[in-house]
Amino acid sequence: MSLQEEGDDYTKDGTVDLRGNPVRRSQRGRWKACSFVIVYEMFERMAYYGISSNLVIFMTTKLHQGTVQSSNNVTNWVGTIFLTPILGAYVADAHLGRYLTFVISSAICFLGMLVLTLSVSIPGMKPPECSTTSAEDCEQASVLQLALFFGALYILAFGTGGTKPNISTIGADQFDEWDPKEKMQKISFFNWWMFGIFFGTLFANTILIYVQDNVGWGWGYGLPTLGLAISISVFLLDYYYLFFALLNFVNFALFLGVVKFYVYRAEATHSVNVKEEESKVVGIKEDE
């Protein structure tokens, strides 16, 4: 490549990489980087709507809270999620920069989703099942159970505050505004960006809700958690490490399967023990 061609290969808008070096179009940015951004946003929307759309149902049926209290808790959490990006934008602009803020915040999001998935999957992390229709007549969640569940929700909200104001601008920065072709590609990026948002929302409000209601809450929360893990891994490590990200996906799926197996086994054992106790009581009454 001649010096003239090499000079033309550098971006004209002053973009630099993480080390402060000028960026060459042929080696950095554009769709190769933006595809990671779009996939991450899709899974992030999937996680948010997969939780928020059915959260009142979980609180009333599993945590045995009243409808008013559950609705109030959901409203507070949703409001927090929409307020924290103000803090995330300030931290990114004034202190850490967009990339580092996004990386740290996405790790916090994943931690929140992981803890939330475990809290809805492990029997000891929620009150025992209750067959009565009134939540007030059921055993209420303990302070520890509520602290774990709501702590996970607000960890997720805190992490979202750092990702939401930065992820779209990271994607837009992958295109050189001074290049006519890349300027048009930037417009196309935002089209795909919105497609990723709506696809994640649609998937959450259909497939994930069905999984939560008919398969289990652990799987309903575990799927977007796995998606976040993969998207973060690919965003940080590039295509060459996609295999290892998929391997982690499989390992985590197996882990969830084992957890669900032992949960089912524990519930089945408990049911058998209850039936045996009932049989003994009935036998004693008949003898009398």
To the nearest 10°, report the CA torsion of 139, 224, 234, 12: -110
- What six digits make up the tokens of 126? 């929620």
In a domain, 217, yes or no: yes
Say which residue, 116 or 137, is predicted with more confidence: 116
* Lookup result for tokens 């933006």: 34
Say which residue, 171 or 150, is predicted with more confidence: 150
In a domain, 90, yes or no: yes
pLDDT at 276: 55
Cα(225)–Cα(229) distance, rounded to whole angstroms?
6
Cα(127)–Cα(133) distance, rounded to whole angstroms?
15
Task: Give the model's confidence band at 77: pLDDT under 50 very low, under 70 low, under 90 confident, else very high.
Answer: very high
DSSP 17: -
In a domain, 277, yes or no: no
How many domains are contained in the chain?
1
In a domain, 190, yes or no: yes
pLDDT at 195: 87
C-beta separation of 28 from 16 below 8 A? no
Cα(76)–Cα(25) distance, rounded to whole angstroms?
44
pLDDT at 176: 66
* Residue 22, φ and ψ in degrees, nearest 5: -60, 150
pLDDT at 83: 92
In a domain, 37, yes or no: yes
- With a pLDDT cut of 90, the percent of the chain lying above it is 12
Pick the closest to residue 197 from 47, 81, 96, 53 (CA basis): 47
In a domain, 63, yes or no: yes
pLDDT at 6: 47
Digit-coded pLDDT (tens) for 266-275: 555 555 454 5
Q: Which range of residues forms the domain containing residue 212?
A: 10-15+23-129+141-236
Digit-coded pLDDT (tens) for 243-288: 555 555 566 666 666 665 555 555 555 554 545 555 554 455 455 5
Cα(273)–Cα(216) distance, rounded to whole angstroms?
23
Q: What is the mean pLDDT of the chain?
A: 75
C-beta separation of 229 from 252 below 8 A? yes
In a domain, 51, yes or no: yes
In a domain, 286, yes or no: no
Task: Give the model's confidence band at 27: pLDDT under 50 very low, under 70 low, under 90 confident, else very high.
Answer: low
Cα(47)–Cα(152) distance, rounded to whole angstroms?
13
Pick the closest to residue 252 from 287, 224, 217 (CA basis): 224
Task: Give the model's confidence band at 157: pLDDT under 50 very low, under 70 low, under 90 confident, else very high.
Answer: very high
pLDDT at 218 over 70: yes
pLDDT average, residue stretch 137-143: 78
**Which CATH number fits the domain that encloses residue 95?**
1.20.1250.20
